[in-house]
Structure 1
Amino acid sequence: MATPRLAAMCPATKANLAIAQTLNCIRSKKPKAATLVDLINPKLCDKIVDRLKLKDNYTGTTIIDMNPGLGIFSKTLYERLKPKSHILLEPYSAYQDHLREFIKPYPKMSLVGLDGYDWSSYVQLFKGEQYSGPEFGPGFVPPRPRTVPAEEGLNTDILFVGNLTRLDGAQRLTSQLLSTCFNRTWLQQFGRVRFLLWMHDLEKERIIPQAIQGRTRPSAVADTVVELTEVAGSGTVRHGKGFSVSKLSPTQDKVEETPPKKKPPKSTVERLGYAVEKELQKQQEWIARRDSGRNGMAARYKVRAPLIEQAVRKALCTFLAHVDKIVHLAAEGEHNPYRDISTDELLSRYRAAMLDAQKSPEQRREEAEKAAGLEFTQEERESFAEFEEEYLLATTGDRQRANSFFDETYARTLDPPLLQAWERRNNNPVIVDPNTDVHPHRPIALLDFQPKLIPEWFRDESSDEVNKRFAAYDRLVRAIFALRAQTLKAALKTLAPGAESVLMSMPDGKELGKRRVRCLTTAELVRIAQAWKEWPFRSEEDDHMVGYNRKTVSDDGHSRLMLR
């Protein structure tokens, strides 16, 4: 089928065809640039900027735009905010050829051929004295944003926008940008600078998980320093290994408000007891009918009474035979040991057996110890219970499901809730359709990072001390979240030999040690890190072993380092 002539097309069709032709041209020149996921729907960009509500506070700001791609989202930001300076950081020559023509109608927009993944790019951009290199266009005006103290709120004089879909390890770069909120480097040297990041859904779910089972180190660090909002996304929830879904209904905040429907029990004792209760309930219903005074009910009950009695006895005998471990049981034959026992006596034995079956393992253990003449201290009992939870029960499927349900219920009762994804502002992100809004057709999301005041422990005048405290915090969180479904005390044992003893220096350390790692709030994590840093047996060298030093290859073939 022939392609329609451009002059005969509607404006929207013309725009889409022009976008498609531009993409084909770019990717034919530089295949590596094709890994970037580009926005191709201008109307979607309008919805996203409306949702961000930037116009009130960010009009006339400075925009640093990393990997703008085709520039469709950049154009919307420029037209809405009318920035005093809009800098496009694009290292790939294939995109640069397109962007040089793209920026001509926008006098405050500049193209800079620096790589946003390089730390040196920002040093050149903000501290350079001369801008005569080939990366800078003619007449380039360097950004000079004002500095706003953190206590005065967000610095609205500068805004960072980045598309991280080109890099497979976007989580690494995101983690590094979060670390700058602690040590006040990168753009955070100017105050609390807001940054918007496009990323793949896979990376998004690690930063802002939807369920407590998915809470990992990156999300815990993000919760500490930024208010996180999913502005736009595909609206899908990924399932399978590594992607956890909520164990609760989306509308269920507390278990008490929407109790789960009672299901038949699964164990043999409970199943047989359930059958007995059903027969007893039928018997009570017939007795109620007999006593209701309705015509004929007394006579009908008199006829049915033997059958009802027989059904109750059969259920009781089957239950007691299982409890007494009788393999073969005949209801009325000579091998039935319950044949001459009254129904009331059978019912009494059944009640006693059910009470015994409902005893907790601790009660059974205490009874066995008492019968054997053994006595244990409370500390010894707690030690054994801890061992049992950590090594015997924690890996069983039933216990894992029960722990997940309990943890999520607890996390939702906190104020604010433990996960930022549960905040009201994250309920309805703008939907990005992978099939029509982006190319290549991959699900992506836009996250809005608004730095908060960092916890007081990190507010030290010495940058060296701040770096040491963050290194200790990062080391702790990295280690314990590797075992996020375990208790804090069990996870601390992997940090260093005897590291669980740091809990002894905390007033509530004993209770915190029993809590699973994924249920710890950021305030509790900071207090634990503070106790860890003051632990006399800690090695500072271990703290500084965490970090990133990943080599990649730039457009000119030279190796470079990611942002550190």
Structure 2
Amino acid sequence: MGQSGNTPSKHPYAYRSQIVSPRLCDDVLDYIGPSLQKYKGCDILDLNPGAGLWSEKLHQFLKPRSHVLLEPLPEVFGEYLEPLVKKPGSKFRLVQGDASYFDGLEQLLREGLFPHQNPLPAGSVPSREPNTTLLVTGTIVWNPKHPGLNFFSMAGQMLHHFIRTSWVNEGYHVCGPVRSLLWVPSDDTKFALNKSAMAVSRTSAMVDKVAAVSEVVKPGHAQDDRHWVREARYEIESLVRAMQRMEKNGVAMPPHRRESIHAFADDIRKMTNDTGVMSTGALNDYLQAQEEAGVLTVGLVPEQIRKQWLWEMEWKKRAPPPPPIDEPKKKGRRPVPEEQKRLARARASATRVLKVRTALDELVDFGYSNYQLELKIAEMEDGPQKEAMNRELDALMADFHEKVRNTDAHTRPSIATQLDERLALRSPTPLLQWDRRAYEPLVMQPDEIYPICPVSLLDIQPNIRPAEETDEEYEYLQDMASGLLTRKSSPVGEALETLHPGASQLIDQVPAIRDPKRGGRPRVEEMRARMLTQEMIAGLSKAFREWPFRNPDANHPRYFRIRISGGSMVRDTIESQ
């Protein structure tokens, strides 16, 4: 990147990664272009445009009536942006401003940044309908990361704020809830687009409530932290379902935007009668064959196993041939080469890992078969046969829980986690937005952004707010979600009892919790708090507010959040407010 005026070395804030691939921009606009047709001729608010390539491409596609480039450092990036502004008849306007200064961003819109927009008066009833006359885009990627306040990064803090404020018409949503196309660090997408039941949190619950989030572009399938991503079998099953939806809707990924996991999914569809369902052992064998054929499986199997495969292949290439038959055998033991010792250790480690994963798989299969029997019983008419089936299920559940108790303490939590992953994915309405995605993200190459770092493009579309919902009701709902999901691994009843003694009886006031068609379980004692849907959380929030036995302090809309953060200081905090 060229430099002018004050160089980035004098402005640490200027170290922002830039999209530098015209082809990537074109592919994105071809891919999601149909959904952008309604925005042609709109206003565009462009945050941190930087080098301006994405800004120019989006502008050419939408032909907006105005396009404001809100750039905090025009002295650094002006040489790229000024030519756009100075073109004859240009709709571009370069404005110096910092998108991370949230109050200032709203003030700009209130002061007439866009003459055609009508900011809502402060304190007015929030707009219920999306504003399709304004589109926000931007690149909020710093490399290295720019720290945030109570967030891992500034990008994460900004993303959280932009999503949250759509519900209350603040920030750049002051003219009504607007759609956003934001380039963000891939690490910071975890709370906005949760890809695992294990990672469900109060923040992800907030996002699910207020916005529909899609990942349009992602980096290649690099080795991720296994704490945050799924077992490969569920990742591929989810991918297969997304591919089926794409085929139904006539959507196709450009071949050059696919990666190895998409080819794996194609194979596995053929191997599983188009279900994508495959055991850990069978998938392990398939992926090993792929690795041996020279196709990388990074990020889909534990590295201990993958390293063992690589060493096995290397050993086969380098191992000495057996001695000729007529060669006399030497006395004594031959020294074992160090590489052979290393391979033996790798085999032992991989065998242990695979053994644990296979045993875990078998227990999850057992738990899932019990769940399927539970659903079958729920469909039966009351009578002797149903009673007999319930007794059978009681025995099976007892056997399952006994086996779980006898499992190694380090492995035990994974049983519930993996079972919930399966239930979340296969629910009539999948729990996670990711599992309901309409399309697969396009895969970008490392050199399509500079400086190189893993980024994603998120398409964030605010949900329509119910007309009857007040700001206070929204706060109560978020408070209930925060309280429940601090105990997300606990059964729902236990999580409620932790919030308030006796609160487990509220389950009976929310029919969805026991309804399998709405993501519930007839045997609610087997359902963990992280499996609660937005409908269920809203029902529990309403039931709790109407419950005559609640603590008087619980009338406060932030009661549980104050308890979580303040402990014994709850009453003082509430009274001070």
TM-score grouping bracket, smaller chain normalisation: 0.5 to 0.7
Between the aligned residues of both structures, percent identity stands at 24
Structure 1: which 5+ residue stretches go unaligned? Answer: 1-19, 130-139, 264-357, 359-377, 548-564
Q: Which residue of 2 aligns with 1:51?
A: 31
Work out which of the residue numbers 415, 418, 433 in structure 1 matches 2:431: 418
Per-residue CA deviation, residues 260-293 of structure 1 (Å, 9 max, x unaligned), is 3889xxxxxxxxxxxxxxxxxxxxxxxxxxxxxx
CA–CA distance in 2 between the matches of 1:97 and 1:27?
13
Work out which of the residue numbers 526, 532, 546 in structure 1 matches 2:544: 532
CA–CA distance in 2 between the matches of 1:473 and 1:239?
33
Contact conserved, 1:394 with 1:400, CA < 8 A, in 2?
no
Report the residue type matching 1:523 in the other structure: E
Contact conserved, 2:234 with 2:421, CA < 8 A, in 1?
no
Contact conserved, 2:199 with 2:228, CA < 8 A, in 1?
yes
Contact conserved, 1:234 with 1:431, CA < 8 A, in 2?
yes
Contact conserved, 1:488 with 1:513, CA < 8 A, in 2?
yes
1:113 aligns with 2:121: no
Q: Which residue of 2 aligns with 1:446?
A: 457
Report the residue type matching 2:22 in the other structure: P
Matches within 5 A, 1:78-477: 78-95=59-76, 97-98=78-79, 99-105=81-87, 107-128=90-111, 142-144=115-117, 154-166=130-142, 167=146, 168-236=153-221, 238-240=223-225, 242-246=227-231, 248-252=233-237, 258=277, 260=279, 396-427=409-440, 429-434=441-446, 436-454=447-465, 456=466, 459-460=467-468, 466-477=470-481
Matches within 5 A, 1:471-550: 471-496=475-500, 499-503=503-507, 505-507=509-511, 511-512=523-524, 514-535=526-547, 536-537=550-551, 538-541=553-556, 543=558
Per-residue CA deviation, residues 185-237 of structure 1 (Å, 9 max, x unaligned), is 33444344211122111111232233322233333222222222111110325
Contact conserved, 2:106 with 2:170, CA < 8 A, in 1?
no
CA–CA distance in 1 between the matches of 2:109 and 2:499?
39
CA–CA distance in 1 between the matches of 2:37 and 2:281?
52
Work out which of the residue numbers 31, 37, 41 in structure 1 matches 2:12: 31
Structure 1 402/499 Cα, relative in aligned 2: closer, same or farther at 3 Å?
same
Q: Which residue of 2 aligns with 1:40?
A: 20
Contact conserved, 2:43 with 2:114, CA < 8 A, in 1?
no
CA–CA distance in 2 between the matches of 1:178 and 1:452?
10
Report the residue type matching 1:528 in the other structure: L
Structure 1 393/195 Cα, relative in aligned 2: closer, same or farther at 3 Å?
farther
Larger Rg: 1
Alpha-carbon offset, residue 92 of structure 1: 2.6
Give the root-mean-square deviation of aligned CA atoms: 3.9
Per-residue CA deviation, residues 275-316 of structure 1 (Å, 9 max, x unaligned), is xxxxxxxxxxxxxxxxxxxxxxxxxxxxxxxxxxxxxxxxxx
CA–CA distance in 1 between the matches of 2:406 and 2:105?
51
| TM-score (normalizing by structure 2) | 0.58
CA–CA distance in 1 between the matches of 2:538 and 2:525?
15
Equivalenced residues, count: 388
Q: Which moved more, 1:223-232 or 1:25-34?
A: 25-34
Structure 1 29/172 Cα, relative in aligned 2: closer, same or farther at 3 Å?
closer
Structure 1 218/237 Cα, relative in aligned 2: closer, same or farther at 3 Å?
farther
CA–CA distance in 1 between the matches of 2:527 and 2:491?
5
CA–CA distance in 2 between the matches of 1:50 and 1:433?
18
Report the residue type matching 2:198 in the other structure: Q
CA–CA distance in 2 between the matches of 1:249 and 1:189?
40
CA–CA distance in 2 between the matches of 1:242 and 1:259?
21
Alpha-carbon offset, residue 23 of structure 1: 8.9
Alpha-carbon offset, residue 400 of structure 1: 2.4
Contact conserved, 2:209 with 2:534, CA < 8 A, in 1?
yes
Per-residue CA deviation, residues 462-492 of structure 1 (Å, 9 max, x unaligned), is xxxx222222222222232233222222333
CA–CA distance in 1 between the matches of 2:91 and 2:217?
27
CA–CA distance in 2 between the matches of 1:452 and 1:507?
24
1:110 alignment partner, SS class: strand
Report the residue type matching 1:401 in the other structure: S
Contact conserved, 2:164 with 2:207, CA < 8 A, in 1?
no
Alpha-carbon offset, residue 120 of structure 1: 2.4
Contact conserved, 2:44 with 2:66, CA < 8 A, in 1?
yes
CA–CA distance in 2 between the matches of 1:124 and 1:150?
17
| TM-score (normalizing by structure 1) | 0.60
